[in-house]
Amino acid sequence: MTRKIIIDTDPGQDDAVAILLALASPELEVLGITAVAGNVPLPLTAKNARVVCELADRVDIPVFAGCDAPLTRPLVTAEHVHGKTGLDGIDLPDPKMPLQDAHAVDFIVDTLRQEPAGTVTLCPLGPLTNIATAFSRAPEIVGKVQDIVLMGGAYFQVGNITPAAEFNIYVDPEAAEIVFKSGVSLTVKPLDVTHKALTTRSRVEAFRALGTPVGHAVAAWTDFFERFDIAKYGSAGAPLHDPTVIAYLLKPELFSGRYINVEIETRSDLTRGMTVADWWGVTDRKPNALFIGDVDADGFYRLLTDRLARL
Ligand code: RIB
Ligand code: CA
């Protein structure tokens, strides 16, 4: 039984690898890709999503442009990590496939209204602006979502864009609060788990050794993307954040976590966007998210490399 998914994304090299992993996996039916402003502005994330689909020879995938700014705050982008284009590391041709006319939020709302309840999984890989806007516009769709499996937040790893917050949540904390308080079935891939999935040299060379345009692109993106994190953390590679969302759908046994309460800081300037995760159960706040803390990193990269080889 294939799982129907919508990927909501701000490509971003790691988003691009996540999209490729999904397109290489027959267990998943990608109903559409919805772009959101995040790593780079919306025109670029909407373009980059199509660049990735064409690299995978999947121009059949409908790509939609969504929200170009957070619900209430000015957009914060991350060109310092992803480069000016958002996909720096390799020059790929401009996409020929068109953007869909519909707004991404309308696509999300219409799809959830039309598909049977509990049959569509949302995979947000960037700020949660599109998802929160859809939930606010059509509250009845929340109960129809099978799962939300998202990349965002942190507890033990605390923050990457500020000392307190992870980028996706930091950019639009109000959107994150809507999603985390919606009652939707929620699985969270925070920095706690992505920082255990580093792009070591041997793992990047395994991508390059595929000897395909996809393998070459993924290795080039990773070489570019990891320079920032290696300089910052002095680590043996960079966390390949977003593909952990798709890998979880394919092999959940690679991951482990706890079902806990997670709430979002939206008022403080100092800690805005912090995911306050009650990992130790010290409050009586109701659990609302499966918060993933660990991964079999070798198993994750084996899965990723094996699937990318199919493209
Ligand atoms: O903090 C990491 C997240 O922010 C990833 O999704 C990356 O693509 C950026 O969007
Ligand atoms: Ca992302």
| CA distances, 183 to each of 12, 177, 219 (Å) | 29, 11, 38
pLDDT digits (tens, 9 = 90+) for 61-70: 999 999 999 9
pTM of the model: 0.98
Q: What value does the mean pLDDT take over residues 260-284?
A: 98
Which ligand 1 atom lies nearest to the CA of residue 239?
2
CA of 167 to the centre of ligand 1 (A): 6
Contact of 99 with 64, CB cutoff 8 Å: yes
Long-range contacts of 182-185 (CB under 8 A, 24+ apart): 182/135, 182/142, 183/142, 183/288, 184/135, 184/142, 184/145, 184/148, 185/145, 185/146, 185/147, 185/148
Report the DSSP beta bridge partners of residue 291: 188, 258
The catalytic residue positions are 241
| CA distances, 49 to each of 9, 12, 54 (Å) | 8, 9, 9
Instruction: Give the domain CATH number at 244.
Output: 3.90.245.10
Is the dihedral angle over the CA atoms 17, 255, 285, 183 positive or is it negative? positive
Side chain identity, residue 310 = R
CA of 78 to the centre of ligand 1 (A): 9
Q: What tokens appear for 114 in the block?
A: 């039309």
CA distance linking residue 152 with residue 6, whole number of Å: 17
pLDDT digits (tens, 9 = 90+) for 9-59: 999 999 999 999 999 999 999 999 999 999 999 999 999 999 999 999 999
Residue located nearest, by CA, to atom 1 of ligand 1: 167
- 48 HSE (CA, 13 A, CB side): 34
Instruction: Give 45: exposed, middle or buried? Use CB within 10 Å, 0-12, 13-18, 19+.
Output: buried
pLDDT of residue 1: 84
Which residues, in sequence order, are CB contacts of 46 under 8 Å at separation 6+? 35, 63, 64, 65, 99
Lining ligand 1 with CB less than 6 A are 10, 12, 14-15, 38-39, 125-126, 151, 160, 166-168, 241-242
Q: If pLDDT is split at 50, 70 and 90, which confidence band does 113 have?
A: very high
pLDDT of residue 206: 98
Percent of the chain with pLDDT over 90: 96
Domain that holds residue 60: 3-308
Neighbours of 106 (CB within 10 A): 18
| CA distances, 78 to each of 45, 65, 265 (Å) | 12, 19, 21
Q: Which ligand is nearest to the CA of 166?
A: 1
| DSSP code per residue over 30-44 | EEEEEE-SSSS-HHH
Q: What value does the mean pLDDT take over residues 282-295?
A: 98
pLDDT digits (tens, 9 = 90+) for 234-244: 988 999 999 99
Q: Are strands 262-264 and 145-151 parallel, antiparallel or unpaired?
A: unpaired
Tell me which residue of 141, 174, 136, 167 sits closest to 152, measured CA to CA.
Answer: 167
Provide the terminal-to-terminal Cα distance of the chain, rounded to the nearest Å.
22
In the chain, the number of structural domains is 1
CA of 98 to the centre of ligand 1 (A): 25
Q: Which ligand is nearest to the CA of 151?
A: 1
Q: What tokens appear for 59 in the block?
A: 């121009």
Q: Which ligand is nearest to the CA of 192?
A: 1
CA of 283 to the centre of ligand 2 (A): 31
Which ligand 1 atom lies nearest to the CA of residue 168?
4
